[in-house]
Amino acid sequence: MSVVLVDAGGTNIGSVRYALQRLGVDASLTSDAEAIRTADKVILPGVGAAGPGMARLHELGLVDLMRSLTQPVLGVCLGMQLLCERSEEGDTACLGVIPATVHRFAEQPGLRVPHMGWNRLQRQREHRLLEGLADGDWAYFVHSYAVPAGDHALATTEFGGPFAAVIARGNFHGMQFHPERSAKVGARLLKNFLEL
């Protein structure tokens, strides 16, 4: 099985790659269109801002390719947000494969933005990506923007209100939290993705 990590400039690429190695998968880091097109699984990691992330994909000529992929695709953290139609962060047009707009968390008393820390996941519907995940399992988040809970949400969590923690539409999937930092839960979800 060939797994590629799209080199879109995310700073968590090394830790995602190491998490995959712990599962016995040596994923290659690439910005080569043909390698991405022919891979069995494609992962779009990312930490940073939506504007530079999309600018990097445009610069590499990968936007139309990413939209056209038919194999399982996983966006992680910013990578998940880039799967959506638009992000409020810099009013950025994204890949548009998930019908949602990414919003900044509203400032509220007692809520610090960015959201950093462990949150419980709540399953919203059945999906192979969630096999072995129980309601209330913990995952580790670091982000200031989030995808609203909607029809695409497989699992949600709460931070000043519910938001999507795991999403899917067709062959496109996303995890807002960091699976590589989420212990057994993150490892299980990555393993589930590799088995899709």
* Dist CA 25 CA 93 (whole Å): 32
The vertex-131 CA angle with 6 and 24, nearest 5°, equals 50
Q: How many angstroms separate the CA atoms of 88 and 146, rounded?
A: 10
The whole-number pLDDT of residue 91 equals 96
List the end-to-end C-alpha distance of the chain, in Å, as a whole number. Answer: 12
* pLDDT of 69: 98
Q: Is the pLDDT of residue 54 over 70?
A: yes
Residues classed as catalytic: 77, 178, 180
Taking the C-alpha atoms of residue 137 and residue 24, their distance in angstroms, rounded to an integer, is 24
What pLDDT score was predicted for residue 49?
92
pLDDT in tens, 120-131: 999 999 999 999
Q: Are 150 and 163 in contact (CB under 8 A)?
A: no
Asked, as a colleague might, if the bond just before 52 is cis with ω within 30 of 0, I would say: no
- Spatial neighbors of 147 by CB under 8 A, at least 6 apart, are 80, 81, 84, 98, 100, 102, 153, 163, 164, 167, 174, 176
pTM over 0.85: yes
Highest mean pLDDT among 9-18, 107-116, 156-165: 156-165
The 10s digit of each residue's pLDDT in 139-190 is: 999 999 999 999 999 999 999 999 999 999 999 999 999 999 999 999 999 9
**Tokens found for residue 193:** 């993705």
Q: How confident is the model over 111-115, as a mean pLDDT? A: 94
Q: Are 10 and 47 in contact (CB under 8 A)?
A: yes
Given this model, what pLDDT does residue 135 score? Answer: 96
What tens digit of pLDDT does each residue of 56-86 get? 999 999 999 999 999 999 999 999 999 999 9
Alpha-carbon dihedral 14, 101, 158, 172, rounded to 10 degrees: -50
Domains of the chain, CATH where assigned: 3-194 (3.40.50.880)
Residue 10 scores a pLDDT above 80: no
pLDDT at 189: 97
